[in-house]
Amino acid sequence: MRVELDEPKCVASGQCVLAAPEVFDQRDEDGVAILLDESPAAGLLDGVREAAAICPAAAIRLVER
């Protein structure tokens, strides 16, 4: 599973960091999300799916491969 982050869409809500702190962080200056791990381990995927689902900007996409 690969994670894609559409950075210009991000609204800096930080909901992804709450759902999957191992995979997402936020920039200090503007809060825009940072993708820490674009191929997260299986054990992290539930959190990543949660992050993609609750992202208020629909800026996170999971791509199966």
Partner 1 sequence: MRRILIIGASAAGLAAAETLRREGFDGTLTLVGDEPDAPYDRPPLSKQILSGEWSPRRLPLRASADLDALGLDLRLGVAATGLDLAEPAVRLADGSAVPYDGLIVATGVRPRRLPGQGAHVLRTLNDALALRDRLGPGRRLAVVGAGFLGAEVAAVARGLGCEVTLLEPAPVPLAHTLGEQVGRMLSQVHLDHGVDLRTGVTVTEANGGRVRLADGELVEADEVLVAIGSLPNTEWLEGSGLTVADGLVCDAYSAAAPGVYAAGDVARWHNPLFGTSMRIEHRTNAAEQGMAAARNLLHPEARKPFAPVPYFWSDQYDMKIQAYGHLRGHDGIAVVEGDLNKRRFLAAYRTGDRLSGVLMAGLPPKVIRPWRQAIAAGAKWHEVVGGGTPSAGAVPAPT
Q: Site residues (CB under 8 A) for partner 1?
A: 9, 11-15, 17-18, 26, 28-31, 49, 53-58, 61
Which lies closer to partner 1 via its Cβ, residue 39 or residue 64?
64
Single out the residue of 5, 10, 7, 2 nearest to residue 56, CA to CA: 10
Burial (Cβ within 10 Å: 0-12, 13-18, ≥19) of residue 59: buried
Give least dist CB 14 to partner 1, A.
5
Which lies closer to partner 1 via its Cβ, residue 41 or residue 56?
56
Which residue type sits at 51?
A
Give least dist CB 41 to partner 1, A.
19
